[in-house]
Structure 1
């Protein structure tokens, strides 16, 4: 199913990537404690799938995090 995303405005998705476990949730309680060194910005649409997000992230994260044998988890 092809979706024409052109007439819709994309959303900015702030993604925080960590190569091992999840970041502790307390880091996200206040803006000043966000782990910005591990933050990536993706412009995406409501219809974007997690698979498409991972494909976009693989292209922008450092090479040490791009393992094709790795698992991507979302919280």
Structure 2
């Protein structure tokens, strides 16, 4: 995979991960969250885990979007290439 494609995937997903984790943890106290019913984690662990989870989900979404984007030459209705 090219470095430019990684940039197109990771940078927007990083911004969305940061915004999403800020929004979620403004509404949810990390100390109220338990894992598997009995595991408690510190605030920093939940903040970091939540951020990386949101970043991963946004990165998968961006990667899928880039994968489905049209490739090759883009042509108009008459078959002439569109420069851009």
Q: TM-score range by the shorter chain?
A: under 0.3
Q: Larger C-alpha radius of gyration, 1 or 2?
A: 2
TM-score (norm 1): 0.28
